[in-house]
């Protein structure tokens, strides 16, 4: 580190005075759940009155993926037990 690059503690503290995190602006969805404003609801998938995310299809796809993965894992475990 070059000496010229060094800042005083006050300089560093002044810069960091703007680094505080703000809480997300949570609003109540029409389904009653709390959600981040300007984002689709993670509970019902609605945004601005319409369904933005098809959560039924999404959950089904996730479950199918998990079943496929765990199915192959249990197959390898049973194969190892057979040996
Ligand atoms: Zn909702």
What is the tens place of the pLDDT at every residue in 51-64?
888 888 988 999 99
- 23 compared with 78, residue with greater pLDDT: 23
DSSP labels, 42-54: TTT-EETTEE-S-
What average pLDDT does the chain have? 85
40 Cβ neighbours under 8 A, 6+ residues apart: 46, 47, 52, 53
Mean pLDDT confidence for 12-27: 94
Question: How far is 44 from 52, CA to CA, in rounded Å?
Answer: 9
Stretch 18-35: mean pLDDT: 93
Those residues whose C-beta lies under 8 Å from the C-beta of residue 34, and which sit 6 or more positions away, are 26, 27, 28
Surrounding ion ligand 1 within 5 Å at CB are 29, 31, 33, 41, 43-44
- How many angstroms separate the alpha carbon of residue 49 from the centre of ligand 1? 10
**What is this structure's pTM?**
0.51
- Cα 30 to middle of ligand 1, angstroms: 6
Is the pLDDT higher at 12 or at 1? Answer: 12
């Amino acid at each position: 580190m070059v000496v010229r690059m060094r800042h005083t503690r006050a300089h560093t503290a002044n810069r960091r005075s703007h680094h505080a995190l703000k809480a997300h602006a949570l609003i109540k969805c029409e389904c009653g759940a709390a959600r981040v404003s300007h984002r689709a609801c993670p509970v019902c998938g609605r945004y601005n009155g319409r369904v933005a995310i098809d959560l039924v299809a999404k959950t089904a796809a996730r479950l199918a993926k998990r079943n496929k993965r765990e199915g192959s894992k249990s197959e390898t475990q049973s194969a190892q037990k057979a040996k």
